[in-house]
Amino acid sequence: MSSIICVCMKARLLVLGLLINSYLFLNCSGEVPSLTTLAVTEITSNSALTGGNISDEGSSKIDERGVCWNTNTAPTLTSDRTINGTGMGEYSSSLTGLIPATKYYVRAYASNKYGTSFGDEVTFTTSISNGSSVNQIIADHTIVDRYNDIPQFYIDEVKKMLVWGAGMSHSLGYQHGLILLEQYDPKYQVITYLGDPPPAVTSQAMRFGRIFQSGDNTWTSDVNAYCGILKDQASNLNNPYNVFLYAWCWDMTWVNSPGGGLDPEFNVHWAGSAGGGRWGLNNEDQSLTGTPFSMDSYLSAIETYNAHARSNNYKTFTIYTTGPVDDNSGTENGYQRELKHTYIREYVKNHPETIFFDYADILVYNNSGQKHIVNWNDGGTYRPHSQIHPDNLKDYNSLWQMIPADGQGDLLGDDHIGEAGALRIAKAMWWMLARIAGWDGQSK
């Protein structure tokens, strides 16, 4: 009997020892993999190529590898990531669905039974336009009819956007056109707004409007205040403006008619309303206009807004625009306005990273492609300049009169252009926003 008990006790001790040894084996520490992150290449507006190189798999085989990325530093497995098989060595990872002109942080990762390790952190910035030799987007009269080429994917991407079109009465023309385009083709859904706060985040309709009226010298001189609004909207309200633009009004031409000193280079007097004086062409014109404001001030403000967005790592594009081409036909005022528009275009031409909405160029052409040119008789010298095409001051057709010419400043009036012109503006706006969203402008 005692021998049987002894055998049983030995068996139990043996089993217990095996269980203890097994437990200790399962819980002993092991090494995680060692790896590096590959350089990022083939960068476009919405994709990039990278990967990793695993030099040591650690204490067990690799069961998952890939890369993870984020717009904040130190991305982890809870960030966006790829899964690129198993095993040691070098592997490639394609990053897709990226945001144009955005800085990203990326790390390779590898996992085994003992945990996950990360490679070194690499940063890169996506380009503005996909498939273009230069990172530039220009919306002018040549692209108006191409709005209908936008793939549905990018129409849906634009419907996520919030756009602030600062300005006064002419800024309503953008909104009116977008409303008309939605009526013309319901797939181009829009929410327009006046006042603060702007509409909440949605993916159902592009949001376009202004939080308050803005004169151009205010938009140019109060840069810090506007930067604060952009930052608060992005950081505190989590509803960032995707695009910020100045819609102009008659700032280049009204209140102060051509006067002051004669510009010896262009043989013209400057006009406009800016800080109590006139708008010059460049910084050297202050002695002629009595004000420091000029097209250089406008261009500098846009550079500041874009630099502010980049430094704070939020996605807001401030774009370049030209202004109205109605009124002042065949006058010195109309001609000096043309010089200012040309100055903006030349700047864009020499800066391939810019995004440009050529409002004036869109409106001087009609739907048949005819350009409207008038002349200023400067003492016997005829100086041509572009003027809004008469067709763009008309209703879209005799049955569709959605913008009454009542001049009362309500949402459906007082933008100084007709339905035909407003509709052209809207078509170009959708094309431009789709390009900003990553469309290459070619594929359908």
The 10s digit of each residue's pLDDT in 290-329 is 889 999 999 999 999 999 988 887 889 999 999 999 999 9
* 114 & 242 share domain: no
- Please, which residues bridge with residue 36 across strands? 53
For residues 220 and 406, what is the distance between their CA atoms, to the nearest angstrom?
31
For residues 67 and 108, what is the distance between their CA atoms, to the nearest angstrom?
4
Report how many domains make up the chain: 2
Is residue 96 within 8 Å of 69, Cβ to Cβ? no
pTM recorded for the entire structure: 0.71
* pLDDT value for 298: 94
* pLDDT value for 75: 93
Range of the domain at 95: 34-125
Q: Is the peptide bond before 197 cis (omega within 30 degrees of 0)?
A: yes
Domain boundary among 98, 125, 152: 125
For residues 230 and 248, what is the distance between their CA atoms, to the nearest angstrom?
19
DSSP-based three-state secondary structure for 295:
helix
For residues 208 and 215, what is the distance between their CA atoms, to the nearest angstrom?
18
* 187 & 48 share domain: no
* Structure token pair of residue 226: 């506007």
Domain boundary among 99, 125, 151: 125
* 259 & 358 share domain: yes
Q: Please state, in angstroms and as integers, the Cα–Cα distance from residue 365 to each residue in 149, 171, 234, 253, 348, following that order.
A: 20, 19, 37, 21, 20
* pLDDT value for 311: 84
For residues 181 and 74, what is the distance between their CA atoms, to the nearest angstrom?
44
Q: Please state, in angstroms and as integers, the Cα–Cα distance from residue 244 to each residue in 321, 355, 414, following that order.
A: 11, 11, 22
pLDDT 10s digits, 38-81: 999 888 878 899 999 999 999 999 999 999 999 888 999 988 99
- CATH label of the domain that carries residue 348: 3.40.50.1110
Q: What is the mean pLDDT of each run of 10 residues along the chain (444 residues)?
A: 41 41 48 93 86 93 94 90 92 86 89 94 76 69 95 95 94 93 94 94 96 81 91 89 94 93 96 89 93 93 92 89 96 98 96 93 95 96 96 74 44 74 96 92 78
* 121 & 234 share domain: no
* 192 & 297 share domain: yes
Residue 7 exposure: Cα atoms within 13 Å on the Cβ side? 4
* pLDDT value for 310: 86
* pLDDT value for 131: 38
Q: Per the domain annotation, does 421 fall within a domain?
A: yes
For residues 154 and 44, what is the distance between their CA atoms, to the nearest angstrom?
16
* 40 & 156 share domain: no
